[in-house]
Amino acid sequence: MTLAQEPSSLQFECETGNYHTFCPISCVAWLYQKIEDSFFLVIGTKTCGYFLQNAMGVMIFAEPRYAMAELEEGDISAQLNDYEELKRLCLQIKRDRNPSVIVWIGTCTTEIIKMDLEGLAPKLEAEIGIPIVTARANGLDYAFTQGEDTVLAAMAHKCPKSVKEEEEKEERNAIHKLLNFGRKKEDIKQEESEYKDHPPLVLFGSLPDPVVTNLTLELKKQGVKISGWLPSKRYTELPVIDEGYYVSGVNPFLSRTATTLMRRRKCKLIGAPFPIGPDGTRAWIEKICSVFNIEPQGLEEREAKIWESLEDYIKLIRGKSVFFMGDNLLEISLARFLIRCGMTCPEIGIPYMDKRYQKAELDFLEKTCNEMGVPVPKIVEKPDNYNQIQRIYELKPDLVITGMAHANPLEARGINTKWSVEFTFAQIHGFTNARDILELATRPLRRNNNLKELGWEKLVKEEAKI
């Protein structure tokens, strides 16, 4: 499709059915840091171990709380007893680390040999006295960031149900302590009265602690109290989730977790755009406020001030085009934000599209395109990379956001690229982190501008020919 046709409504296509993405077991990298009293046991082959070792880089020097249970020929040919081997490993983990929870991460191999991790876990959990959470994160069924989704969906089953437990836990909740450090009890009670009366709200999605605090405070300004986060900083502080509680996700790739919370825990999902970019953050807060019949205060001015502070970056990309090849399932939200910044986007590739969970974000994308007077992108689920590259040659976008595998080949052909994985590991949520998104997105464009100023453009072209 060419830009001249200017579609005004969303169009969806599905191509090969393959996932051209990073492996989902990489979710271990950020989850083991988020849940401080956890231990992750990845059950797979040496290939999985090599991947994790490379994906995590120098994190191995920081005493990471993860290990590989390597499947050998004996396991695969069914000569060894799965239960006894896993019991031996888990007892060793208990002796050496004594975590509050052990998370088993299933891989492609455990799927292929039909290893019954869900059946083994409850028996072993009772025997060794440590909770075991079982999550499938194999690359056959899941894309990159969906590894976190399967872990959080499994962890949702472990959340307590009693309100009494919630009151006991609140005093030792890490966020509660952080926000109230050094303050008098009278001041805390007065502040509690500032919250509006509304049903309990639990947010789900793994974010760095500063971002959790930031979003908690943004909602607090509107009188909205967050009852807990899934995951919490410690497994022992998992939020109480009872029937009738409201839940809201902060990431677009958590559809399985949302489904689990609605079906198994009987929660009510607040379907909102995700808090990425100042426009998304405002829409997210407004939707939560509207569900609780709260009139939001000062959001328009807050958003306008953030946009004003971003102008030095926006002028670099205004009028330029961006193309998403598809990797981390953040593509819809990032495209919506960049379009609001003045870019055009002919195509958004995405590995997996849950139209129900992302409905509010899709509607917001369409609304943003119409307000900015630009064509609505074509959304391609499970894109065929060969076909996409042909379309990139034809469309000649100014920037391609892609998986790591395609970045260097595209750069060699004179196409500006940015690794999509960088957006996964960066702090991109909330009003204050919008600048970090643009810092990443504009980096290749700023680099090229600097090269031109230094007169290296000709040299680069000559090297490309060689």
pLDDT tens digits for 232-279? 999 999 999 999 999 999 999 999 999 999 999 999 999 999 999 999
End position of a domain, from candidates 244, 276, 297: 297
Judge contact between 175 and 227, C-beta under 8 A.
Answer: no
Same-domain pairing of 196 and 134? no
Going by the DSSP 8-state scheme, the letter that residue 398 receives in this structure is S
In a domain, residue 152? The reply is no
Query: 79: domain range?
Result: 24-142
User: What is the share, in percent, of the chain residues with pLDDT greater than 70?
Assistant: 85
- The C-alpha torsion from 384 through 387 and 389 to 395, rounded to 10°, is -130
* Residue bearing tokens 């995700």: 274
148 within some domain: no
Q: For residue range 393-443, list pLDDT tens digits in order.
A: 999 999 999 988 888 899 888 899 999 989 998 999 999 999 999 999 999
Residue 458 lies in a domain: yes
Is there a domain that residue 149 lies in? Answer: no
Q: Which amino acid is at 375?
A: P
How many CA within 13 A on the CB side of residue 376?
Answer: 17
Looking at the structure, do residues 307 and 292 belong to the same domain, yes or no? Answer: no
Please indicate, yes or no, whether residues 363 and 214 belong to a single structural domain of this protein.
no
Residue 356, token pair as written in the block: 């129900």
Residue 449: which region, alpha, beta or left (left: phi > 0; alpha: psi -120 to 50)?
alpha
Domain boundary at 263, 297, 331, which? 297
Domain contains 156: no
Average pLDDT score over the chain: 86
Q: What is the token pair recorded at 266?
A: 């009987």
Q: How far is CA 415 from CA 69, 322, 349, 438, 457, in A?
A: 41, 11, 17, 18, 14
Domain end, chosen from 297, 327, 349, is at: 297
Query: Tokens at residue 58, please?
Result: 């120098």
Residues 37-53: what's their mean pLDDT?
Answer: 88
pLDDT confidence of residue 72:
72
Indicate if 291 and 366 belong to the same structural domain. Answer: no
**pLDDT at 6 > cutoff 80:** no
Task: Answer whether residue 238 is part of any domain.
Answer: yes
Q: What residue has token string 């290296």?
A: 456
With CA atoms as reference, report the closest residue to 21 among 337, 249, 352, 348. 352
Of 205, 208, 215, 104, give the one whose Cα is nearest residue 148: 205
- Other beta carbons within 10 Å of 331: 26
Q: 340 and 244 share a domain?
A: no
Q: Collapse the DSSP code of 38 into the 3-class scheme (helix H, G, I; strand E, B; otherwise coil) and give the result.
A: strand
Let me know the angle formed at the C-alpha of 298 by 297 and 301, rounded to the nearest 5 degrees.
Answer: 160
pTM equals: 0.87
Q: Does residue 41 sit in helix, strand or coil?
A: strand
**pLDDT tens digits, 334-377:** 999 999 999 999 999 999 999 999 999 999 999 999 999 999 99
Predicted confidence (pLDDT) per residue in 275-288, tens digit: 999 999 999 999 99
Q: Are residues 79 and 125 in the same domain?
A: yes
Would residue 142 be called left, alpha or beta, if left means φ above 0 and alpha means ψ between -120 and 50 degrees? beta
**Is 449 found in the same domain as 336?**
yes
For residue 261, what is the domain's CATH number? 3.40.50.1980
Q: Which tokens sit at 270?
A: 């607040």
For the stretch 275-331, pLDDT in tens is 999 999 999 999 999 999 999 999 999 999 999 999 999 999 999 999 999 888 999
Helix (H), strand (E) at residue 309 = helix 299-309
Q: Please give the sequence-ordered ranges of beta strands (E in DSSP) within 169-316, or none if there are none.
A: 201-204, 228-230, 246-249, 268-269
For residues 251 and 344, state if they share a domain: no
Distance of alpha carbon 307 from alpha carbon 309, whole angstroms:
5
- Give pLDDT, residue 446: 86
- Residues whose CB is less than 8 angstroms from the CB of residue 84 and which lie 6 or more positions away in sequence, other chains included: none
Same domain, 453 and 328: yes
DSSP alpha helices (H): ranges in 97-241? 108-112, 117-128, 146-156, 163-170, 174-179, 185-192, 209-221
For residue 364, being part of any structural domain is answered with yes
pLDDT of residue 4: 45
Instruction: Classify the C-alpha dihedral 462-440-60-84 as positive or negative.
Output: negative
Q: Do 313 and 268 lie in a common domain? A: no
Domain count, the chain: 3
> Does residue 330 lie in a domain region?
yes
Residues 217 and 274 both lie in one domain: yes
